[in-house]
Structure 1
């Protein structure tokens, strides 16, 4: 076991923060897109899903271009707030966010599409506000699919490597996540250390997926009884 377990703590921190923002943004996007038809909808959805098919190096390059010291967003953040994104753990959060949004969006969209709009329409005829309809009808009915997306997004955030390496770099104790620890331990010939982190991240992913499958089956049985 390595003496320094900070990569595990940082990975959990990065994945948790990114998943929180992924949840909010993807939920808003999916809710907006689910039953609206407008010019450019297909193109907008393609943009949302684009990180699924792009190589991590392309995503990393785009993030560096945007958030680099001379980038449009990076220069503004540095000039106005004194905040730098590149080579910080915040950069790792942004990278995890970008690659996880498509997974959460697809899950939320599919979940919202399964909600029978008649339930919402009945509530509207009773004068109930859209926010209350969403909070008491739409969201609870769509929750199983949304929750599955959350689990997958969290797992994707923990496993992100390529884009994270480009924007956050490898700084032990500061930007060293578990995937980065595995890669650089292997490069240094520290096979035992690399194997330990491989076992940790694999076990975490297996546990998450197994628990999700169990929760899904349990939920299906409960709904079947009802």
Structure 2
């Protein structure tokens, strides 16, 4: 399984740091960032780095994260069209890792696996974790059983034990969440380690 990592921008005077992971095979195509979503990713990472400064304790089990791609769910649920993506806000440190990924250095990608229209609550399960460290080394972890046996799910910050996110009804009848909203990502077991996927390369 090969991966090509690309770094976009550099943290500096007024510049946002953003990066993307582009697969060299077709299966996880959701890892690429469409042009229309790059501005959202840039904004999310800029905000995540600023907001992340208030978090001082890293975790392998919980991460505050920010949506840059909103999930869209309907009833009945169309899982394949419910893709969402977030950037990390709070520091994330896998249990066997010697270093910590700070705010804006990780992305969490996934799909809705269940939706209850009576409560507007959706179970949003993480499929892929992708991070880049300060030396531009990329890391990744894919949960192949994210649909049937979620390992990481999102929950509202105000209801951290719910295991679901309350969705708002859109004008077209679908349900979603506000762009750039923060949620809590909770793992059923501590994330032990991420696999190295190669060095990133500066695009600009």
TM-score category by the smaller chain? under 0.3
TM-score w.r.t. the length of structure 1 is 0.24
TM-score w.r.t. the length of structure 2 is 0.25
Rg (Cα) greater in structure: 1
Structure ranking higher in strand proportion: 2
Structure ranking higher in helix proportion: 1
Larger RCO, structures 1/2 (Cα 8 Å, 6+ apart): 1
